[in-house]
Structure 1
Amino acid sequence: MKLPADLQSALDACANAPSDDATARRAIGMLDLTSLNGDDTDRTVEALCARAVTPAGPVAAVCVWPRFVATARKALEGTPVKVATVVNFPTGEADAAAVAAEARRAVADGADEIDVVLPYRAFIDGARTQPMNVVKACREACGSAALMKVILESGAFPDADLLAWAARDAIAAGADFLKTSTGKTQPAATPEAAAVILDSIYESGKEVGFKAAGGIRDAAGAALFLALADEILGEGWATPKTFRFGASSLLDALLAEAGHGVAPAAVAGY
């Protein structure tokens, strides 16, 4: 994705972002520990939740399929870790009524955060009203009970201008966070897409967070995304309330960087 000169300059400034103990600990507190596999079970979700409070502190949230929200809620009882889930996932092709119903069920089951997929194919093809009606319906279903993260599926967008347009429209439709990717398509989270989305948040002047999801598997990658947020939105902007990583394999790498264990070998997947 070709960036405007100012955003390319910001990205270049972050090329050598330090990956150290302090950065790793910071990133752990911003992690949405995620399992969205087809063969997930209550047992795998319980095991995921057991990893959420780490020797370096708790992660921000655990993100699971809607059918496991109640399981995660019970497993995380007594911890500060939030329960997140996904709706309209991963294709983004359900209608507004179905998305709203799915979100309402998830909130009733105990979800603190809803990650909803924008109907990105329709948006890319030129539709504007229908995709945002889906986002608005999810916003209404979440109400004040749940945070809403809008998944843009940035890797599907042909250029930076159209991605920025989608980001602006999602903010106007009530997004609490903008999220790069489902993690189910390639490319997933890229620094270039992150720069565009972070800049859109900055230009909006609103209190909207950012989530980089999919393909971030080592401490150096996490450090780059954090540095980019610092560069575009200012030092101190990125906190667990405004910045998240969506990953299943990143935690072990961050813990190793923070002095707790050995970095894992590279793996495929979310």
Structure 2
Amino acid sequence: MGPVTTLDAAARALPLLDLTSLNDDDTEERIAALCARAVTPAGSVAAVCIYPRFIPVAKQLLENKGVAIATVVNFPGGGASAAEVAGETRAAVAAGADEIDVVLPWRDFMAGERTVPRDVLRACRDACGDGILMKVILETGGLADAGLIEQAGRDAVAAGADFLKTSTGKLQPAATLEAAAILLDVIRDCGRPVGFKAAGGIRDTAGAAAYLHLADTVMGPGWATPATFRFGASGLLDALLADLGHGATGQKPSSGY
């Protein structure tokens, strides 16, 4: 194979994108604009990722468009109880969410607590039911320590995670290649299909390409598909489209993603 071009990388990354708006001041109008951006001249993104209150408007606008609706629970702090997380999850699924991005109680995890994080994730898993993806946000920038990140990833997989996700995008550092490498190693060795999501701070094609190259190296070429690999981002879409020759798609999002 020859060298990967910017065009190749952008074309590969776009269908892996969870186009995200998780701003405290989001409005239905802003989410409608996000949904309009999700179907592009170069194809559709994998999902939009929004707060639960916006699921109905997104569901209406994206019906039959081939774009999944992802939402967040226990977000961003990770401090809710298992019962609260179960309730949030059930409500989001009932409203039409296809994917649940749940925050691991990472501060408890850092403090040595294992039962509470496990119970929260299992409650979310049970509330998701069949057919709903559970993406576990580990907040790797908060955990910081490689050993903790690895153990959190293993515990999330044991609790039923369908994806391991780096970050909320609300804490710095967000996604890093170092954390991604640890989580991809966990996924490779876990014995069942689990996906990976890099979220926060990935804003250009070169950045996306670095994560895809890492996934190719650890998991093998061709592993990264929308079923196994996502980018959580807001500004990345415009960069990808520009590199694909389609110019900008409108307003620049203000999210930390």
TM range (shorter): over 0.9
**Does the alignment pair 1:86 with 2:69?**
no
**Cα drift, residue 72 of structure 1:** 0.5
CA contact (8 A) 2:38 2:48 kept: yes
Task: Give the equivalent residue in structure 1 for 2:226.
Answer: 240
Mind listing any 5+ residue stretches in structure 2 that lack a counterpart?
none
**Cα drift, residue 203 of structure 1:** 1.1
Mind listing any 5+ residue stretches in structure 1 that lack a counterpart?
1-16
Task: Give the equivalent residue in structure 2 for 1:202.
Answer: 188
Give the alignment partner of residue 63 of structure 1, picking from 49, 57, 60.
Answer: 49
Matches of 2:240 and 2:193, distance apart in 1 = 27
Alignment length, in residue pairs? 254
Question: What secondary structure sits across from 1:29 in the alignment?
Answer: helix
Matches of 1:32 and 1:90, distance apart in 2 = 17
**Does the alignment pair 1:159 with 2:148?**
no
**Cα drift, residue 259 of structure 1:** 1.3
Question: What secondary structure sits across from 1:260 in the alignment?
Answer: coil
CA contact (8 A) 1:34 1:248 kept: yes
**Cα drift, residue 268 of structure 1:** 7.2
Task: Provide TM-score, normalisation by structure 1.
Answer: 0.91
Matches of 1:158 and 1:235, distance apart in 2 = 28
Task: Give the equivalent residue in structure 2 for 1:14.
Answer: none
Question: What secondary structure sits across from 2:227 in the alignment?
Answer: coil
Task: Give the equivalent residue in structure 1 for 2:84.
Answer: 98
CA-atom RMSD in angstroms: 1.7
Question: What secondary structure sits across from 2:49 in the alignment?
Answer: strand
Task: Provide TM-score, normalisation by structure 2.
Answer: 0.95
Identity of aligned residues (%): 64
Give the alignment partner of residue 38 of structure 1, picking from 24, 28, 31.
Answer: 24
CA contact (8 A) 2:22 2:255 kept: no
Matches of 1:184 and 1:239, distance apart in 2 = 26
Alignment deviations for residues 16-42 of structure 1 (CA, whole Å, 9 cap, x no partner): x84511210110000000000011111
Instruction: Name the aligned partner's letter for residue 201 of structure 2.
Output: G
**Cα drift, residue 176 of structure 1:** 0.3
Task: Give the equivalent residue in structure 2 for 1:4.
Answer: none
Task: Give the equivalent residue in structure 1 for 2:161.
Answer: 175
